Amino acid sequence: MATYSITLGYDGAPFCGFARQPGQLTVQGELERALELLFRHPVDTVCAGRTDAGVHARAQVVSFELQPEELRDRTPESLVRSLNALTHDSIAVRQWQQRPDGFSARFDANWREYRYFICGGATPPLFRAATSWHVKAPLDVAAMERAAAYLTGEHDFKSFCLAASAEGKPTCRNVRSITFSRDVALGEGALVITVAGNAFLHSMVRTIVGTLVMVGRHQRKPEWVSEVLEARNRAAAGENAPAQGLVFWNVDYGA
């Protein structure tokens, strides 16, 4: 068997998340259905990072194994065209690659990057409504940056993950950086919170964003975030930021 991967983006709105679920429209379900149609047998896939319902992806990576002879007379370009023809219109397959034998999109990743988009002001965004969180109140970004500093490095992020998914599982993760920037698209501005780390727990980035927004609204002081970490209790943190503002942005496999 040889190992291959595809890089894809998707609008998360129509999907019940990435992971396959019986009777539900999912990104993995669509990909595996298309691969089965192409190669006439089931093909199991592994992704770099699962996304929840409504969360988008710009450069998700998915790996799988096939017999090399199955790709005879097929080029990467033709395979990308076929997958785009066979999958949901909200999925865009961008690249097909052969990988070293045994490569895993999940386990060989060094770090993953997510970006969260927040649009401010009294008027809701028009063109970015489906890919951002509209927060009316002004946000103190400097306070959010001070709060974010407590989250960088290796910590137990149990307070920042869905409680049920944390039971009996390790919850330590290494957040490499949390940065803030501004972005304008179609005349509409957004605050972009970029979170990079080795791996993430269920809803971890959305909980981080929701917690930082509480600080930005002056509902809590930056130092409170340290207390949230120490509590190791999901009830101690802020709300989950809405799914539509989150994008799985990039994954790195470099040395």
- For the chain, domains (ranges, CATH) are 2-99 (3.30.70.580), 111-252 (3.30.70.660)
As given in the structure block, the two tokens for residue 198 are: 């080795």
179 close to 194: Cβ distance less than 8 angstroms: yes
- Name the pTM for this structure: 0.95
Could you read off the pLDDT tens digit of each residue along the chain, which spans 255 residues?
999 999 999 999 999 999 999 999 999 999 999 999 999 999 999 999 999 999 999 999 999 999 999 998 899 999 999 999 999 999 999 999 999 999 999 999 999 999 999 999 899 999 999 999 999 999 999 999 999 999 999 999 999 998 666 677 899 999 999 999 999 999 999 999 999 999 999 999 999 999 999 999 999 999 999 999 999 999 999 999 999 999 999 999 985
* 89 included as an active-site residue: no
Residue identified by tokens 């975030």 is: 225
Q: Would you mind telling me the total number of residues written for the chain in this entry?
A: 255
Annotated binding site: 114
What's the pLDDT score for residue 163? Answer: 67
Q: How far is 165 from 34, CA to CA, in rounded Å? A: 30
Q: Which of 11, 52, 183, 252 is catalytic?
A: 52
User: What does the alpha-carbon distance between residue 80 and residue 60 come to, in Å, rounded to a whole number?
Assistant: 14
* Burial call 134-145: b when 16+ CB within 10 Å, e when fewer: bbeeebebebbb
Task: Summarize the annotated binding site for substrate as residue ranges.
Answer: 114
Residue in the block written with tokens 């988008």: 56
Q: Please give the sequence-ordered ranges of beta strands (E in DSSP) within the chain, or none if there are none.
A: 2-10, 46-47, 56-66, 91-99, 111-120, 133-135, 153-156, 172-185, 188-197, 246-252
Burial (0-12, 13-18, 19+ Cβ within 10 Å), 13: middle
Predicted confidence at residue 185, as pLDDT, reads 93
Beta bridge partners of 246: 116
